[in-house]
A = this chain, B = another copy of it.
Amino acid sequence: MEERSMSGFCIRSGSCVRSASTTTGTKCGRWNPTNEQVKVLTELFSSGLRTPSTDQIQKISTQLSFYGKIESKNVFYWFQNHKARERQKRRRKVSSSDDDDDNSIRRENTMSRNSSSQNFAQLYQVSEHRRVIETLELFPLNSFGESGSKNLSNYTNDCRDNNNNNNMFSYTMREQMDHPPLDLCLSFM
């Protein structure tokens, strides 16, 4: 109890950066998605997007920031939670049979393991990627309102390709040149 208030206090006063977009009276607490944001996210989800890649998250986040304050982590968490809760919801109803929920993009994501830094990105790396506001399409948007499956598979393929460092953004190298000479000397014990 005391602990809580203590710490709570610190944060509020200390670490809340609230860089901008305070126009809406944004507190600093947790993200509160606008209707539009939720709408888009939901559409993406129902289009089959389950575990967006780092870049996708970046883009989505950037796009959605048009509707209000948002960070990439919010997008990340949203998908995590939504995915989990939809599944949960489904489990309560039909205990077995259709689990396509898990399918669509899943396989692809499994592959993405190969891309080593891909998934981790979701967990850690993204950060400040530097926004680059460029208005690229988030992904094949047309798949939303209209036909589903077919576009979807295309989309899926697309997705995967993103694993190639599709830099172009910022950062690019993140870790690529990570290795300083140092390990040359030391790594071999």
Give the interface of A toward B (CB within 8 A): 3-4, 6-8, 10-11, 14-17, 19-21, 23-24, 26, 28-30, 34-36, 65-69, 71-73, 76-77, 107, 111-112, 114-118, 120, 122-129, 153, 156-157, 160-161, 163-165, 171, 174-184, 186-189
Closest approach, in angstroms, between the C-beta of A53 and any C-beta of chain B?
Answer: 11
The reply to whether A73 and B125 form a contact with Cβ atoms under 8 Å apart is: yes
Instruction: Knowing A176-B17, A180-B65 are in contact, say whether A11-B114 is a contact too (CB < 8 A).
Output: yes
Q: Point out the residue from B23, B182, B187 that lies within 8 Å of A184, measured CB to CB.
A: B23
Q: Point out the residue from B28, B107, B114 that lies within 8 Å of A116, measured CB to CB.
A: B28
CA distance A107 to B3 in the complex (A): 9
Number of identical protomers: 2
- Most B C-beta atoms less than 10 A away, residue of A11, A71, A73: A11
Q: In the complex, what residues of B have CB within 8 A of residue A129's CB?
A: 127
The reply to whether B187 and A68 form a contact with Cβ atoms under 8 Å apart is: yes
The reply to whether A175 and B182 form a contact with Cβ atoms under 8 Å apart is: yes
| Least CB separation from A175: chain B residue | B180
Q: In the complex, what residues of B have CB within 8 A of residue A176's CB?
A: 17, 19
The reply to whether A160 and B11 form a contact with Cβ atoms under 8 Å apart is: yes
The reply to whether B160 and A15 form a contact with Cβ atoms under 8 Å apart is: yes
Given contacts A14-B157, A30-B116, A71-B178, 12 further A-B contacts (CB under 8 A): A6-B111, A15-B116, A15-B117, A21-B181, A23-B184, A24-B188, A26-B183, A26-B187, A34-B186, A34-B189, A66-B182, A73-B123
